[in-house]
Amino acid sequence: MTEEPELKPGSTDEYLPWEINYDVDRLCSSDAMCKEYLPDAKVHKCGKPLDFNLPVSSDGVNGQELISFDIINFNNLMKGMLTIFQALTLEGWSLMMYNMMDANVPTISICFFCSLVIFGAFFTMNLVLAQIMDSFYSQ
């Protein structure tokens, strides 16, 4: 593994993908974890390819569902609202839960997402739809 991406031989804009270490149980969740697997590197940076000004396809993990490239998270209010909205639509909520389980305490993530889906998606959405149908039929 190298600490900086390497260009493909004979190319000026295509990079070789970093090797995937299958011995790692989790995705890189902290810089300390990177230091563990790259002890001799000067810079220990975990992140998405865009942090290194690389195209998203440069790391060779385009088809892996668990990698969201910092789109789905709770780092600020807008991304948190987007994450909750996506979970309420039931689109990929289990993958979000698995990512949060890797990054935090698994029990809290399971409780949060399961209660969000049960109360948010099923109960609240049915109340909203019932109100819309009631106002539609009253006219």
Each residue of 12-54: pLDDT tens digit? 767 666 666 566 555 554 556 566 666 665 544 556 666 666 6
Confidence of residue 81 (pLDDT cuts 50, 70, 90): very high
pLDDT digits (tens, 9 = 90+) for 63-76: 666 667 677 888 88
Residues with Cβ within 8 Å of residue 65, at least 6 apart in sequence: 92, 95
Distances 102 to 12, 15, 97, 130, 131 between C-alpha atoms, Å: 36, 28, 9, 37, 38
Helix, strand, coil percentages (3-state) for the chain, rounded to 5, are 50, 0, 45
Residue 115 has pLDDT above 90, yes or no: yes
Q: What was the pLDDT predicted at 43?
A: 47
- Listed residue (20, 98, 14, 1) closest to 58, CA to CA: 14
Question: Distance between CA atoms of 80 and 78, rounded to whole angstroms?
Answer: 5
